[in-house]
Chain A
């Protein structure tokens, strides 16, 4: 294993197993675009990868400021990669603010590439640097490549007659060209992409291509001097087939379309703009040929109510939002539970409470999902662990919603929604079909209609308006067993409350498997959602050190898998890492009376592997080889809260 001071780019190692690169610049510098295209080229090179886009909530924060910095981190390697990486090996900083906010994360000995041209007094002042960090000892611990990227870009695009302002827009392409050279990548897919993107403005496409090529050429000619070396990361051995890059938002949209197809139902999606959930609606709007109706509602409440109305009328109703929007939908979720209509609610969690951290990730809506309603209102909750997993989880949510006639909440988070990973495109034929059934004739004795008569799963029939002879009334008021008429009587409310609870608790979910490790032992690390990647890696590393630790990852948060209690009780210790203050921990303690220990983080940033290794290590004091993680957990690895001096 590498020592703390060594990076994959050090010394003779020009074929490292994995590399972490972070592009950081002003929010107007196009860093997300650069990262996205670098991701594509990485995927095409056959590396496994995971990304972490990290951008401010402001669309265009004032230029050069600390809070306007936008970053994109990618971890790619020749073996399985399932986190965006802890500390970057390479940091590309397009201005002083980007350097200041991102430098603390860089691995000691890592490479910093800076655009010298942006380090004038004005930008240094905005980044609150008293002296120029390129001229003092700020970067002493690192390899530094100072380049006037701005000037070189202007030079490269000169033939196209653009003004300086327009010319500088291609700075990110110059940088991307250099990165493509560094990692031995093909430029052609990026050329093609630029030509397609600027189809109607060929001169802009050509200027960008020229900038990209110039950055690449710079790498070739400058190689002999200085810290710049070309690095080759071998492709990861991969199963044959068709692959694509996939973000969580795309995965959810595709999974919903697939789920509705497996149900043989039209889909109705009601949404209201909110970060980071809006992208799901953007994707679905373009899938109308799959019998998808989309509706941008006047508010979150209308979005879910319209979805409930559509489900009532026989479509698969879906709505999506993020924490504060889900809070607004809560009363309507109760209506869905009471009227027992299928509904899928996607919650792309973000930092809270209130508006919180709109563009940062957190897992703090578990209580809201499981408990957060008036009355005894049980609802299934499923959590996706990655973009690719979100596809299957969405299908699962559709299935449960219809088979059990219930709203279902699917949890993703800001990290899953925005991050991309390579995805082996599945053959839609492999998925089990589960066509929806509608009642078409009276189901009671003597031709009586019983809208709340339950099947062996506890589900009531789905009755579409328009069906002859089955007219009936439903609503949010407590309904009588079987008939569904209004009935507030004590015995009836008890019976219906019990029936709703039994139905949800009886949902059959797959038995819980151990993701890594053994079915019993000293320590189980139990996680859910997007912490899957770092926990998985940390447990793997700890096991390589000989520690008796296993990883259990929950997809079904409610109901929990039937075998989970026995499984968790077979370990001496249970550690629950979460990006909240300990919500799953509480749930597990509540359900099983086990001493689940929390490991919590609410910085708006994903867990680092090293942090988890450190926490695991604490359970193995005195065990040889337990000196913590590859990189010692260090508060400096967390990006400094914007504008706050440490």
Chain B
């Protein structure tokens, strides 16, 4: 469980001796560093930490973290993680997946791990492209994406990872991007959440989908294009000159100007991480008409799956002796006596 331990580690303790094999300049490097920087802050214990991944560029991640790691098969990391956590609930389980791995081939498992609410962190690196297989359109690629499989531009509508997660019943949904300084905070919040914590991390594939997130991730204009959410704080951006309000006529989010910092007067709403309806809206607002909603969008814990499994096991075992001899002889049985040689 994600209990605080007294383990003290440094970033170095979480680095392996393996040569990192991502393309130079790949956003994965920044995410790896953010994770390695966050783990010591969490007091995480390498021996109780397990990174589990599927297939794809992102899924090489476990090889580079000095903990237990399992690089599995395409899309199945959530299913493997479920077995790991049910077998040993004391382990800290991190799932590393990508948009193809987690939303396409493994979409089914992503849905079910979220609805069951297994206590783990799911980091979905979204670069809107299949990188490891050389650049085909992915389920999150934007309409019109040109790729080897979509030479005239993609025409199937992209999936929205966070909308999918909320729809599947996730109790924690957050967003960040690879080079963001705030990514460790998001990861920390995910770790503190008991239950399945879903984090979409926009990641720059510099070879096949370069700078596709520059609209909001580029340092220039970041203030105008990033809406960092914080529980209990007004939804402000553009250095506090603009905010998000709820249009009561249309029941939709809208942008308002904030004059002299008086966000209340402007009707800017305060972020409440337990408000599921607003979370739904925040993941649906279009970019660039709206800024990109980042940070913890939703965080409302419920009992975790492995806890419920353990409770049920305890309940069904209560008062029962694990007597194998008795189990084998249970049911419709009869005894053949020594002298008779047939049933008594």
Enumerate chain A interface residues (CB-CB to B < 8 A): 40, 43-46, 235-245, 250, 254, 257-258, 261, 266, 268, 270, 286-293, 295, 297-299, 301-303, 305-315, 317, 331-332, 334-335, 339, 425-429, 464-477, 485-486
30 pairs across A/B with beta carbons < 8 Å?
A43-B334, A46-B343, A236-B342, A237-B341, A242-B329, A243-B334, A244-B330, A250-B331, A254-B327, A266-B87, A268-B83, A286-B316, A287-B327, A289-B317, A289-B321, A302-B79, A305-B109, A310-B86, A310-B87, A464-B88, A465-B84, A466-B91, A470-B47, A473-B16, A473-B68, A473-B70, A474-B70, A475-B62, A475-B69, A475-B71
Q: Is the CB of A243 within 8 A of B322?
A: no
Task: Give the Cβ gap from A196 to chain B, nearest Cβ, in Å.
Answer: 11
> Which residues of chain A are near B337, meaning CB under 8 Å?
240
Near A by CB (< 8 A), chain B positions 78-130 give 78-88, 90-91, 108-109, 111-112
> Which residues of chain B are near A473, meaning CB under 8 Å?
16, 18, 62-63, 68-71
> Which residues of chain A are near B18, meaning CB under 8 Å?
473, 485-486
Q: Is the CB of B79 within 8 A of A471?
A: no
Judged by a CB distance under 8 angstroms, whether B152 is at the interface is no
> Which residues of chain A are near B304, meaning CB under 8 Å?
none
* Distance A287 CA – B63 CA, assembled complex (angstroms): 38
Judged by a CB distance under 8 angstroms, whether B4 is at the interface is no
Q: Is the CB of A298 within 8 A of B112?
A: yes
Supposing A44-B334, A471-B68 touch, asked if A290 and B82 sit within 8 A by C-beta, the answer is no
Enumerate chain B interface residues (CB-CB to A < 8 A): 16, 18, 46-48, 50, 52, 55, 62-63, 66-73, 76, 78-88, 90-91, 108-109, 111-112, 309, 312-313, 316-317, 320-322, 324-325, 327-338, 341-343
Q: From B335, which residue of chain A is reached at the shortest CB distance? A: A242
Q: Is the CB of A313 within 8 A of B331?
A: no
* Distance A237 CA – B339 CA, assembled complex (angstroms): 11
Q: From B55, which residue of chain A is reached at the shortest CB distance? A: A476
Q: Is the CB of A427 within 8 A of B325?
A: yes
> Which residues of chain A are near B324, meaning CB under 8 Å?
257-258, 261, 290, 428
Q: How many A-B residue pairs have CB under 8 A?
A: 221
Supposing A241-B336, A313-B87 touch, asked if A332 and B343 sit within 8 A by C-beta, the answer is no
Task: Give the Cβ gap from B181 to chain A, nearest Cβ, in Å.
Answer: 28
* Distance A428 CA – B327 CA, assembled complex (angstroms): 10
Q: Is the CB of A466 within 8 A of B108?
A: no
Besides the known contacts A293-B86, A312-B70, 15 further A-B residue pairs in the complex with CB atoms under 8 A apart: A236-B342, A238-B341, A240-B335, A241-B335, A288-B316, A289-B316, A289-B321, A290-B327, A305-B83, A309-B80, A309-B81, A314-B87, A335-B72, A465-B91, A469-B47
Contact among B48, B86, B309, B338 with A240 in the assembled complex (CB-CB below 8 Å): B338
* Distance A101 CA – B321 CA, assembled complex (angstroms): 48
Supposing A308-B80, A309-B79 touch, asked if A235 and B342 sit within 8 A by C-beta, the answer is yes
Q: Is the CB of B83 within 8 A of A308?
A: yes
Q: Is the CB of B82 within 8 A of A243?
A: no
* Distance A472 CA – B63 CA, assembled complex (angstroms): 8
Q: Is the CB of A471 within 8 A of B83?
A: no
> Which residues of chain B are near A465, meaning CB under 8 Å?
47-48, 50, 68, 84, 88, 91
> Which residues of chain B are near A474, meaning CB under 8 Å?
69-71
Interchain residue pairs A-B with the least CB separation, the first 9: A309-B83, A475-B71, A306-B83, A305-B79, A235-B342, A473-B69, A46-B342, A313-B87, A302-B79
Contact among B50, B86, B320 with A268 in the assembled complex (CB-CB below 8 Å): B86
The residue among A43, A292, A313 with the most chain B CB atoms within 10 A of its own CB is: A313
Supposing A312-B70, A466-B90 touch, asked if A306 and B333 sit within 8 A by C-beta, the answer is no
Task: Give the Cβ gap from A613 to chain B, nearest Cβ, in Å.
Answer: 30
> Which residues of chain B are near A46, meaning CB under 8 Å?
336, 342-343
* Distance A261 CA – B76 CA, assembled complex (angstroms): 29
> Which residues of chain B are near A335, meaning CB under 8 Å?
72-73
Contact among A257, A291, A310, A426 with B83 in the assembled complex (CB-CB below 8 Å): A310
Contact among B16, B86, B329 with A295 in the assembled complex (CB-CB below 8 Å): B86
* Distance A216 CA – B24 CA, assembled complex (angstroms): 85
* Distance A335 CA – B47 CA, assembled complex (angstroms): 23
* Distance A471 CA – B67 CA, assembled complex (angstroms): 5
* Distance A29 CA – B33 CA, assembled complex (angstroms): 67
Task: Give the Cβ gap from B66 to chain A, nearest Cβ, in Å.
Answer: 6
* Distance A237 CA – B342 CA, assembled complex (angstroms): 6
Task: Give the Cβ gap from A314 to chain B, nearest Cβ, in Å.
Answer: 6
Task: Determine chain B's interface SS by DSSP, over half rule.
Answer: mixed
Q: Is the CB of A243 within 8 A of B83?
A: no
* Distance A24 CA – B129 CA, assembled complex (angstroms): 59
Task: Give the Cβ gap from A303 to chain B, nearest Cβ, in Å.
Answer: 8
Q: Is the CB of A467 within 8 A of B47?
A: yes
Q: From A463, which residue of chain B is reached at the shortest CB distance? A: B68
The residue among B62, B73, B111 with the most chain A CB atoms within 10 A of its own CB is: B73
> Which residues of chain A are near B73, meaning CB under 8 Å?
305, 331-332, 334-335, 476
* Distance A475 CA – B81 CA, assembled complex (angstroms): 13
> Which residues of chain B are near A45, meaning CB under 8 Å?
343
> Which residues of chain A are near B16, meaning CB under 8 Å?
473
Q: From A39, which residue of chain B is reached at the shortest CB distance? A: B332
* Distance A290 CA – B330 CA, assembled complex (angstroms): 14
Contact among A236, A258, A314, A476 with B88 in the assembled complex (CB-CB below 8 Å): A314
Task: Give the Cβ gap from A3 to chain B, nearest Cβ, in Å.
Answer: 30
* Distance A198 CA – B78 CA, assembled complex (angstroms): 43
Supposing A245-B331, A466-B88 touch, asked if A302 and B109 sit within 8 A by C-beta, the answer is yes
Supposing A288-B316, A298-B108 touch, asked if A312 and B332 sit within 8 A by C-beta, the answer is no
> Which residues of chain B are near A317, meaning CB under 8 Å?
83, 87
* Distance A184 CA – B271 CA, assembled complex (angstroms): 79
* Distance A339 CA – B73 CA, assembled complex (angstroms): 11
> Which residues of chain A are near B320, meaning CB under 8 Å?
289
> Which residues of chain A are near B52, meaning CB under 8 Å?
309
Task: Give the Cβ gap from B79 to chain A, nearest Cβ, in Å.
Answer: 4
> Which residues of chain B are near A241, meaning CB under 8 Å?
335-336
* Distance A637 CA – B80 CA, assembled complex (angstroms): 48
Q: Is the CB of B112 within 8 A of A302?
A: yes
Q: Is the CB of B309 within 8 A of A244?
A: no
> Which residues of chain B are near A43, meaning CB under 8 Å?
332, 334, 343
Q: Is the CB of B68 within 8 A of A315?
A: no
> Which residues of chain A are near B47, meaning CB under 8 Å?
465-471
> Which residues of chain A are near B309, meaning CB under 8 Å?
293, 295
> Which residues of chain A are near B322, meaning CB under 8 Å?
289-291
Q: Is the CB of A472 within 8 A of B69?
A: yes
Q: From A315, which residue of chain B is reached at the shortest CB distance? A: B87
Q: From B65, which residue of chain A is reached at the shortest CB distance? A: A473
Supposing A44-B343, A473-B16, A473-B63 touch, asked if A307 and B83 sit within 8 A by C-beta, the answer is yes
> Which residues of chain B are near A475, meaning CB under 8 Å?
62-63, 69-72
* Distance A303 CA – B79 CA, assembled complex (angstroms): 8
Supposing A289-B316, A425-B333 touch, asked if A295 and B82 sit within 8 A by C-beta, the answer is yes
Task: Give the Cβ gap from B15 to chain A, nearest Cβ, in Å.
Answer: 12
> Which residues of chain B are near A331, meaning CB under 8 Å?
73
> Which residues of chain B are near A464, meaning CB under 8 Å?
88
Task: Give the Cβ gap from B75 to chain A, nearest Cβ, in Å.
Answer: 8
Task: Give the Cβ gap from A561 to chain B, nearest Cβ, in Å.
Answer: 28
Q: Is the CB of A428 within 8 A of B87?
A: no
* Distance A311 CA – B313 CA, assembled complex (angstroms): 19
Contact among A240, A244, A301 with B333 in the assembled complex (CB-CB below 8 Å): A244
